[in-house]
Amino acid sequence: MKYLLGEKLNFDWKVAAVTIISTMLLLVDYYRTLTAYKYIDRLILYFVIPLLVILILFRENPKEYGFSWGDWKLGITYTVLGVLIMAPIIYFLGSENSSMNEYYGRLLPGLPWTTFLDLLGWEFFFRGWLLFAYARKMGDNALWLQAVPFALAHVGKPEIETLSTIFGGFAFGWVAYRTKSFMWPFLIHWFIATFVIIVSAGVI
């Protein structure tokens, strides 16, 4: 009976808070529109709110959640490799896949700032806030844990992209984990998203 009442449970309150808050933010993003621009909504939900939670509720330095350049030499290396590897793949998929053309071709206006603002929050949320909060208790397993909601958040996007995101989310997380910074996966993701839209729109 005592066990059922929770007396033997030993939750880490910060892990619980991150899990609950991040889930609610994802659901708000899905069901609600806060401003006239989705990328502004995501900057608020995925960057501003988690950052305020870290500063005000947790009373911690955002650096502990990847808010720094970390190992910048390693970060530059991973970023250059990520761009070189992904560019030909994106070019092939973006120019040959009709679902990619239909979904991303219409998003051309506003580049590159729309993708910058959208993904700054997106990457801090998954590869900063979630990854480093979970890594404290779960170690390397945090790489897979943060990749799951990342993949689910892609539902509704082109199928070929969504099916790949569990692996892409892990890869982005690995870069952040190794460099101790969400900035490097952000730069890689920013390039990928911007290049996908440009290719899908038939600009190149």
- The full DSSP string for the chain is -TTTTTTT----HHHHHHHHHHHHHHHHHHH---SS-HHHHHHIIIIIHHHHIIIIIS---GGGGT-S--SHHHHHHHHHHHHHHHHHHHHHHHHH-HHHHHHHGGG-TTTTHHHHHHHHHHHHIIIIIIHHHHHHHHGGGHHHHHHHHHHHTTBTB-HHHHHHHHHHHHHHHHHHHHHT-SHHHHHHHHHHHHHHHHHHTT--
pLDDT computed for residue 1 by the predictor: 44
Report the alpha-carbon distance of residue 149 to residue 61 in Å, rounded.
Answer: 24
Domain residue spans of the chain: 13-200
Residue 4: per-residue pLDDT: 52
Q: pLDDT at position 169, please?
A: 97
Global model pTM greater than 0.85: yes
Q: What is the mean pLDDT of each run of 10 residues along the chain (204 residues)?
A: 60 94 97 94 97 98 97 98 94 75 78 93 98 96 97 92 95 98 98 90 74
What is the per-residue DSSP string for 47-79?
A: IIHHHHIIIIIS---GGGGT-S--SHHHHHHHH
Q: Which of 188, 174, 8 is nearest to 83 (CA)?
A: 188
Check residue 96 and give its pLDDT.
67
Look at residue 106 in the predicted model and tell me its pLDDT: 79
Give dist(CA 46, CA 121) in Å, integer: 5
pLDDT at position 192 = 94
Look at residue 6 in the predicted model and tell me its pLDDT. 53
Q: What whole-number distance in Å separates Cα of residue 170 and Cα of residue 173?
A: 5
Residue where the block lists tokens 């900063």? 128
Residue 157 pairs with which residues in a beta bridge? 155
